[in-house]
Structure 1
């Protein structure tokens, strides 16, 4: 299967779904992300490759907003307080985070065995990362995972334990933004695929596809952040 040429997005279809394949593998997944696409299982072994016409990103450059901390992330006083309840770890429970994000009881779940297999391999290669939020007893109560290439990070999914982890996924997101911005390197890109009303409350915006692709090209050339817990 051929990937679309990112140098001229005018040749791309004017829809979010760009192409489809039967199956996927780690190498192809990485090439697709570098071209501005991401995969999503569509059933019966089919994989859709998406590049939204309006792409959701969380800006990493700080706006003039008192409720925004690192970058454009909006952190209310109450969230800042509850986030302190959790300790953050990185890449210590990738498979568990993926499984919790892929809980079949979750509405609109899309994570299947092909995602687990391929993203697990990408984690072992150092390209897929998880941010984990743990309670006072060390239990995993929230987290997120995604793909990192250079200065680009694609957030794939997040979860929280509804009983023990209120705002735990948001605590993981705060940690991710801090990790991506702590060295002050400009131009990094945090992709969240689509803007939702929930993500908008956290500072996510939409940008046109061609703008996204230009930012992606720059971000891929930047150094990778250090995947370690903040001091």
Structure 2
């Protein structure tokens, strides 16, 4: 997948300028998944994404898919489930299990997963440092049936993956993440690569240069570092 002119990363954590990535977004290859390198990548609008057996590939696609919190579309059926409240939302209680569900739940048109063991190890370390977070949805019997995870730095959330074991599990998690983003003044939820599913929920394509400009602004703020567990009571009240 690496073509002519695509730089290889070295031991340092210096990335090429993402504004000059290829149109589909491939910026560089190589390096490692040291949590400090990965965190620096996100701060610059870059993320790792590769298949087992490939070198680590680093991306900054154009356009970028962003969900601005005020643009989130709650369909009637989802609104009804949110009102019924036959679930409990938890934050950062079982991060690794959320990642493993995201890796294992089958997806239409997708074989295998990019959420490899070394990816889980890296993001779990970032979770322990207060940068990676999970939103988890539990049924009335206490069973986990939906969730999402991603990276939060500054006033931006970078969504990585979602899963559902029952209908709308991931949408319920996303609805609560959106409410948190509104409360905390986050500028956007980065959905990375355009998909019809997320665009139906209100996400929009944004030119890479605009995304990077907006990202720079978000990184001038502290955001909400550390564990999000203490915010559970608030998040469960937000959608009532």
Report the TM range for the smaller structure's normalisation: 0.7 to 0.9
Q: Is the 8 A contact 1:55 1:207 kept in 2?
A: yes
8 Å CA contact retained: 2:64, 2:208: yes
1:4 aligns to 2:16 (yes or no): yes
Q: How many pairs does the alignment contain?
A: 213
Give 3-state SS (helix, strand or coil) of 2:201's partner.
Answer: coil
Partner of 1:150: 154
TM-score of the superposed pair, with normalisation by structure 1: 0.87
SS of the residue 2:210 aligns to: helix
Are the counterparts in 2 of residues 131 and 145 from structure 1 also a CA contact under 8 Å?
A: yes
Residue of structure 2 in register with 1:175 after alignment: 176
Where does the alignment leave 5 or more consecutive residues of structure 2 unmatched? 1-8
What is the distance in 2 between the residues matched to 1:45 and 1:27?
21
Once the two structures are TM-superposed, the CA of residue 104 in structure 1 deviates from its matched residue by 6.7
| Unaligned ranges ≥5, structure 1 | 61-70
Q: Deviations over 1:188-208 (max 9, x none)?
A: 221010121111110010000
Say whether residues 1:17 and 2:26 are aligned partners.
Answer: yes
Q: TM-score, normalised by structure 2?
A: 0.83
Give the drift of 1:131.
0.1
Paired with 1:167 and 1:15, the residues of 2 have a C-alpha distance of 30
Aligned residue number for residue 74 of structure 2: 75
The whole-number CA distance in structure 1 between the counterparts of 2:58 and 2:21 is 12
Q: Note if contact 2:52-2:116 (Cα within 8 Å) is conserved in structure 1.
A: no
What's the CA shift for 1:222?
2.1
SS in 2 for 1:175: helix
Whether contact under 8 Å (1:86, 1:168) holds in the other structure is no
Instruction: List structure 1 segments (4+ residues) > 4 angstroms apart after TM superposition.
Output: none
Task: For 2:74 and 2:151, locate their aligned partners in 1 and report how far apart those are by CA, in whole Å.
Answer: 24
Equivalent residue for 2:91? 90
Q: Secondary structure at the match of 1:41?
A: coil
**Residue 210 of structure 1 aligns with which residue?**
209
Aligned with 1:127 (options 112, 131, 140): 131
**2:4 matched to which residue of 1?**
none
2-structure distance, mates of 1:149, 1:179: 14
Residue of 34, 49, 63 corresponding to 1:54: 63
Contact 2:38 2:47 in 1 (8 A): yes
What secondary structure does 2:51 align onto?
A: strand
Counterpart-to-counterpart distance in 2, 1:93 and 1:30: 21
Equivalent residue in structure 2 for 1:40, among 26, 46, 49 = 49
Contact kept? 2:29, 2:57, Cα under 8 Å: yes
Report the equivalent of 1:64: none
Per-residue deviation at 1:182? Answer: 1.5
* Structure with greater helix share of residues: 2
